[in-house]
Amino acid sequence: MHSQHLLIVIIVGSGTLLYLGKLNSDQNDRNAFINSVQKSLKCRNLRERLLTMSTMKTVDIALFTQGVSELMDCPWRLNLTHRELQRTELWACCNASDKLMVTRQNTNLHQSLIYEAERSNKKLVDQSLWEMLPKSLRWNKKGLLGRCAVVGSGGILNNSSCGEEIDSADYVIRFGLAPINQTVDRYGIDVGIKTDLVSANPSQILNGYRDLQKNPGPLTERLSVYGHAQLYHALHNGRPQNEVVFLHPDYLFDLARFWHNHEEKIKRLSTGLILTSAAMEICEEVHLYGFWPFALDLSQNPVSHHYYDNVGSTAFHSMPEEFLLLLKLHTKGTLQLHLGHC
């Protein structure tokens, strides 16, 4: 017998599944269909469970990782409503498109900027700092940027082959002067090379390049791999060839308050969360790579701290809590996290 039935399955809820089509009563097709329904149900349950999690404090990391691994097998769907809502909220609180960086447009000569972390500390915008500032943000005249890749430095990028996908983005953000030298190992294959904005920690500049004012050569050389990317670091002067931009302390202050009000577990924002937030406001689409703050990967194998070394500590920030936040944004369809092979 080879009869055919018209089958309509509607599962209403967060993971709405609409199946409408002809189904052969053929056993294989039926099994495939049942499997796909089971998979959608499983994905829906996973999403619901994840969205109710409020902290990572009491979480068994091995079980959590298992859940994340299953979630990554579920199809990701953009939710336009969530994405635009998030963009609007971030714009209303923080306005990255106007205030992410200190520019001559949003700052006056001889104005005092108040440091974000120590509100009693001020930095005067003197003539030499003023001259370093960009006139305005590069992108804010053109409306939203298209597809943005925010590339964390997590060891999970090692052997990911994500380089090509990252390089195909319209705007690529990297962190902590992460190496992207294609001739070394397989960085090019895994992390790509295109860079539009790269952050440096103040300590990287202060400790690594002590006599920067007199001898900027070594830093300039290190930065040359990024082409004409903008380099940003906190408010300290330095003159490499790349345009140096500074995150605006007012933006950092507003953003910290914003996330703290939403997720009070998040105390001091990492650069990763700061620039991901900015990207959610100024980019059409946000894709995250290399964000994974755990010692085991999705298959429970050890993974290094960074894709380029195994040094570092996350003690200062609330990385697992931030990761949970990003995973929820992924689950809601606001942005897309990439954790496996590309």
Ligand X SMILES: *[C@@H]1O[C@H](CO)[C@@H](O)[C@H](O)[C@H]1NC(C)=O
Establish whether 2 is a catalytic residue.
no
Least distance to ligand X, CB of residue 82, Å: 6
Least distance to ligand X, CB of residue 134, Å: 15
CB 246 within 8 A of CB 107: no
Least distance to ligand X, CB of residue 33, Å: 22
To 5 degrees, how large is the angle CA 263–CA 264–CA 269?
A: 80
233 half-sphere exposure, CB direction, 13 A CA radius? 16
By C-beta, is 66 or 159 nearer to ligand X?
A: 159
Token couple for 255? 């953003």
By C-beta, is 106 or 230 nearer to ligand X?
A: 106
Q: Using CB under 6 A as the criterion, which residues of the chain lie in contact with ligand X when the complex forms?
A: 14, 77, 79, 81-82, 91-92, 95, 98, 155, 158-159, 161, 181, 183-184, 224-225, 304, 309-310, 341
State the residue for tokens 């700061």: 274
- State how far the Cα of 319 lies from the Cα of 321, in Å rounded to an integer: 5
The distance from CA 34 to its chain's CA centroid, rounded to whole angstroms, is 36
To 5 degrees, how large is the angle CA 268–CA 272–CA 278?
A: 95
By C-beta, is 91 or 130 nearer to ligand X?
A: 91
By C-beta, is 98 or 263 nearer to ligand X?
A: 98
Minimal CB distance residue for ligand X: 98
Question: Among 287, 306, 317, 330, which one carries the catalytic annotation?
Answer: 317
- State how far the Cα of 153 lies from the Cα of 290, in Å rounded to an integer: 5
Least distance to ligand X, CB of residue 148, Å: 19
DSSP state of 157: G
Q: Name the residues annotated as catalytic.
A: 317
